[in-house]
Amino acid sequence: MKMKQYLSLCGLLLALAAQLSTLPLNAQNNWLILQKGNRTKILKPEHMVSIGLIYDIAGDSLDCARQKVEGKVVEVANDSAEIEVVMEEINYTKANEVRENIVSQYPSGKVKMKLPLDEVDYIQYQSETARSLQTFGAFVTMAGVALLVASPVMGLESNGGEFGFNNDRFAGWAKAGLMGVGIGTPMILLGRKRTLHLTPSKKKKKVWAFKLR
What's the rounded Cα separation, in Å, for the pair 85 and 72?
Answer: 7
Return all residues near 193 (Cβ < 8 A) that are at least 6 apart.
Answer: 50, 124, 125, 126
Structural domain boundaries in the chain: 29-128+193-210, 129-190
d(CA 61, CA 96): 8
Q: What is the pTM of this model?
A: 0.69
Going by C-alpha positions, the residue among 126, 50, 124, 46 that lies closest to residue 86 is: 50
Q: Give, for 164, the enclosing helix (H) or strand (E).
A: strand 162-165
Of 46, 44, 49, 50, nearest to 31 by C-alpha is 44
pLDDT in single tens digits along all 213 residues of the chain:
455 555 565 555 555 444 434 444 445 677 888 999 889 998 888 788 999 988 866 555 556 688 899 999 888 887 889 999 999 998 877 666 667 888 999 987 789 999 999 899 999 999 888 989 999 999 999 999 999 999 999 888 877 767 788 899 999 999 999 999 999 999 999 999 999 999 888 777 789 998 866
